[in-house]
Amino acid sequence: MTSITITRPDDWHLHLRDGEPLRAVLPHTAKQFARAIIMPNLRPAIITVEMALAYRARILAAFPAALQSTFEPLMILYLTDNTAPAEIVRAKESGAIHGVKLYPSGATTNSGAGVTDIAKCYATLAAMEWNDLPLLVHGEVTDPDVDVFDREKVFIDRILAPLTRRFPGLRIVFEHVTTRDAVQFVTEASSNIAATITAHHLLLNRNAIFQSGIRPHHYCLPVLKRETHRQALLAAATGGNSKFFLGTDSAPHGQASKENACGCAGIFTAHAAIELYATAFEQAGALNKLEAFASFHGADFYCLPRNTSSITLKKESWIIPEQYDFAGEPLIPLFAGTSLSWKLV
Ligand code: DOR
Ligand code: ZN
């Protein structure tokens, strides 16, 4: 196959940051995706409808004028111990807010304002179930006694499974699943439970973090897992099940924050997101399954119309730049300096 044309995809999990960094990364996403779910883990976190609408306006203002009508940011509220049920009603009424993100406090970048005890959120979760506003979940426990590679599995057992029983009508997106356990949980759960899968978790296993030395640009959260888990993710993504859809979790950090004695978690993939997914699907012999995963399943789950325009990828080798500009700092993309065999036309 020398080219493929698919309905323009959406990114159902994206970190855009704010200010100058936002201006630097936004064009990478807008050149390929029609819409993206925008993560609210800024500092300060986006905890109110007012903050989300102001952030949305900043994103739209950051566009080069020519792109303005072609990309839509879909906003998300950041759940805290104190998010009021009334805020959920306001979020739903705004029409611009498409979900609420659960970060267990301490689980990842800028999660300090996150939830310390899920029981504190029950009234708010009930309001979300009632108003049909999806819950997006960073599915890892933070207990230091739990091995870092087991945090997703333990989260399913301790938090997520009980939550689905308590709120059976709540729509939930289990974000960036990384394990066979998560794939199995989502597959067996009711139809209101779905999951996003990143390109990096489809392409890499945990050996990539330690390949002839420590590789900070392969460090993200949830951390890469062993090969058997990668195989399970690939099977889920390419298997045609509408519960699984594209979410890059592209998470830019400047070079100095990554190449650091205490480096930040996050892999930047927006520079070549759809090409990276195409590479993974091709390796699995399933390029014909890419369109539904990238362009249909997520829109259907979020009850949004499918896009009507299209994009084309050509089979053509190109070298990923060593770095991109990130507000005056270098930003090192995934697979910097190496070649990819699919290229967005
Ligand atoms: O690797 C990650 N980076 N995982 C997250 O959950 C957050 C993200 C970020 O914001 O940098
Ligand atoms: Zn994320």
Give the pLDDT confidence score for residue 68 in this predicted structure.
Answer: 65
**Does the CB atom of residue 254 touch ligand 1 within 6 A?**
no
Q: How many domains is the chain built from?
A: 1
Name the pLDDT band for 67 (thresholds 50, 70, 90).
low
**How far away, in angstroms, is 278 Cα from ligand 2 center?**
21
**How far away, in angstroms, is 1 Cα from ligand 2 center?**
33
Residue 292, both tokens: 């539904």
For residue range 145-191, what is the model confidence (pLDDT) as tens digits?
999 999 999 999 999 999 999 999 999 999 999 999 999 999 999 99
Active site residues per annotation: 249
**329 and 304 Cβ atoms separated by less than 8 Å:** no
Residue 254 has pLDDT above 70, yes or no: yes
Name the residue of 18, 38, 209, 249 to mutate for ligand 1: max ligand atoms within 8 A of Cβ: 249
Mean pLDDT of the chain: 97
Using a pLDDT cut of 70, give the percent of the chain over it: 99
Mean per-residue pLDDT, 74-81? 98
Residue 109 has pLDDT above 90, yes or no: no
**Does the CB atom of residue 15 touch ligand 1 within 6 A?**
yes
Neighbour count for residue 51 (Cβ, 10 Å): 17
**Does the CB atom of residue 109 touch ligand 1 within 6 A?**
yes
Give the residue whose CA is nearest to atom 4 of ligand 1. Answer: 221
**How far away, in angstroms, is 20 Cα from ligand 1 center?**
19
CATH of the domain at 29: 3.20.20.140
Ligand nearest to the CA of 220: 1
Residue 196, both tokens: 């996003």
- Full domain range(s) for residue 53: 3-344
Ligand nearest to the CA of 38: 2
